[in-house]
Amino acid sequence: MSTKHEKILQYIESLPVGDKISVRQIAKEMQVSEGTAYRAIKEAENRRLVSSIERVGTIRIEKKKKENIERLTFAEIVNIVDGQVLGGKTGLHKTLTKFVIGAMKLDDMMRYTDAGSLLIVGNRTQAHEHALNAGAAVLITGGFDTTDANKQLANELELPIISTSYDTFTVATMINRAIYDQLIKKDILLIEDIYVPIEETAVLQNDQTLADFREQNRRTSHGAFPVVTSQQKLVGMITVKDVIGKEDTELIEKVMTKNPIAGSMKTSVASAGHRMIWEGIDLLPVINDDGTLQGVISRQDVLKALQLAQRQPHQGETIDDLVKNEMKMIDDEEVAIEFTVTPQMTNQFGGISYGAFTTLLAEAGAFALKKRKRGEAVTENMTIYFIKPVQMESVLTVKPRILDMSRKFVKMDFEVFSETVLVGKAMMTFQLLER
């Protein structure tokens, strides 16, 4: 059975794109308190099912697939540019295919403006009218208004006219930034991208016996199974180790591990992998908000996904990407890495930021482990116990040294030099993600 919260979210998802929703309306429709309705609408906003706009309200928008996440809705544009909707509110749910900056003559501008575009332009009311007739929405910069006739046309065509107090350059930068952030999010693998749905895997019920476990184990050759109630709520995990020396007639709920560790659809694959290694588990159940089992992921799935992700081209650049781009191996035998400090990696004083420095050490450590033919690793802890200010454009040399290595952990020591001067020393422990 779904919770009230889940039911409201399902109801919101079933609404036609473009519908306006309110706390009061949801509370009345679903017969819940306004507090419950408000929390569900906030969650729907996090899931990108709706967009809330000041002076307009909350509207149902298209839920974007990962492959076209870089396409924004006009509702999202309003929020990005702190805009005011002058007309065409009913079209806010639509997605734009491109934006055009109107810094040219009207005829030239119209050559680039077609259906699904967003024309970013100042107080040129004729351009506003032409864009609407071409099927494009309009974003007026500089806080200007448009004519009543244009507002009327926008309402008829269901194409938004938005006004913002920012100038054209700032607006274009803000929209680009929003698309860029979404591209970075698109590159982050989540459990929902790799999990095995419950219909495609084997589960056991808490009122079954160990004879049922052994039969499932023989049939599927799986060594672990999630345990659920008749309502599909996750209540435990059972593994081959749990049943050694136990009678066939014993109930599964007597020997299973209760309250097992579980992940959600929005957990990142990297953090799920880290948790699985740390807790020593090979199978992680995936549940929704009310504890209903959705599926599972295995350690193999996580490893495969992380290895594949490393080989994929990335569209957005994070600080990690910037750091990796500046690293090059200069001594293959000893493992020494050269690194240039670029302006993006500096703090307000022009020295290397702590974020860039720690990323540099973690990546250098991963290099050293790859040289030793060890697979994927995640940072367990890091202690930087000596650091000197390092200026922009400095060329650093990082020397990682393995102090101790077991089957699961590696301890490493780092020395960082700027020319011949020692500028940093650190100690790090890595967890090895062995198969």
State mean pLDDT over 184-210: 84
Among 85, 108, 309, CA closest to 194: 309
Distances from the Cα of 361 to the Cαs of 324, 327, 329, 389, 416, in angstroms?
11, 11, 14, 16, 9
Residue 429: predicted pLDDT: 93
Residue 236: predicted pLDDT: 94
The H or E element spanning position 371 is helix 354-371
Residue 422: predicted pLDDT: 96
Read off the pLDDT band of 303 (50, 70, 90).
confident
Half-sphere exposure of 409 (CA within 13 A, CB side): 9
> What is the residue type of 101?
I
Highest mean pLDDT among 18-22, 108-112, 212-216, 327-331: 212-216
Q: How many residues does the chain have?
A: 435
Does pTM top 0.75 for this prediction?
Answer: no
User: In terms of pLDDT, which residue wins out, 186 or 38?
Assistant: 38
Sign for the pseudo-dihedral over CA of 173, 175, 180, 184: positive
State mean pLDDT over 122-145: 94
Does pLDDT of 318 surpass 50?
A: yes
Among 364, 375, 360, CA closest to 334: 364
Does pLDDT of 67 surpass 50?
A: no
**Token digits for 285?**
């159940």
Distances from the Cα of 430 to the Cαs of 20, 284, 340, 360, 386, in angstroms?
50, 21, 25, 14, 20
Read off the pLDDT band of 316 (50, 70, 90).
low
Lowest mean pLDDT among 269-273, 317-321, 387-391: 317-321
Residue 110: predicted pLDDT: 86
Highest mean pLDDT among 5-14, 59-68, 274-283: 5-14
User: In terms of pLDDT, which residue wins out, 55 or 131?
Assistant: 131
